[in-house]
Amino acid sequence: MKFGIMVNEGPYQHQASDTAYQFAKAVLAKGHQIYRVFFYHDGVNNGTRLTVPPQDDRNVINRWSDLAIKNNIDLVVCVAAAQRRGILDESEAKRHGKNADNLAPGFRISGLGQLVEAGIQADRLVVFGD
């Protein structure tokens, strides 16, 4: 089966991103596919490469990046929510005249249509939030 996953909260503040990650790993372990992980609301903050979390705890962002790159998973950060919260890739930063970008590896920024499309194309969609 193809799964869509929606993550509505940022790293560390809520368990949503952690649970979504564990769920994603379990999906893959069972031989299923992840069609897309869509990050919305504060969930876009899972896509910043600038976090420096304590070494003795999990690295939420790196975990997502590694999982995505190793398993070819589409991690999408919603552009509208990202703009509000200051998550930008190189082209967004240029486009809006910002002097920095911060998108983490393995993530891409795209529109809300990607969420709707995931709902259409995936067999199941699960939402993780507050």
Partner 1 sequence: MTDEGGTVKKFMFVNRRAPYGTIYALESLEVVLISAAFDQDVSLAFLDDGVYDLIKGQNTKAIEIKNFSPTYRALEGYDIEKLYVAKDSLEERGLSEDDLLVDAQVVSRAEMADLMAQQDVLLSF
Partner 2 sequence: MLHTVNKSPLDRNTLKSCLAHAQPGSAVLLIEDGVYAALVGTSTSGMVQQALSQLSVYALGPDLEARGVAKRVLDGVQVIDYAKFVDLVIEHKNTQSWL
Q: Is 9 a catalytic residue?
A: no
Residues 6+ apart with CB under 8 A from 69: 105, 106
Residue 41's binding partner out of partner 2, partner 1, none, with CB under 5 to 8 Å set by partner kind: partner 1
CA distance 57 to 40: 24
Strands 75-78 and 33-39: parallel
The contact mask relative to partner 2 for 16-55 (x = CB under 8 A, - = no) is: x--x--xx-xxx-xx-x-----------------------
Taking the CB of residue 36, how many other CB atoms lie within 10 A of it? 22
Assess 64 for contact with partner 2 (CB under 8 A). no
Residue 112's binding partner out of partner 2, partner 1, none, with CB under 5 to 8 Å set by partner kind: partner 1
DSSP single-letter state for residue 81: H
Q: How far is the CB of 58 from partner 2 (least distance, A)?
A: 13
Taking the CB of residue 125, how many other CB atoms lie within 10 A of it? 18
Picking from 19, 13, 1, 3, the residue whose alpha carbon sits closest to that of residue 42 is 13
* Active-site hit among 37, 60, 73, 78: 78
Could you say which of 7, 24, 81, 88 contacts partner 1 (CB under 8 A)?
81
> Could you list the residues that contact partner 1 (CB under 8 A)?
6, 8, 40-41, 80-81, 111-113, 115-117, 119-121, 125, 127, 129
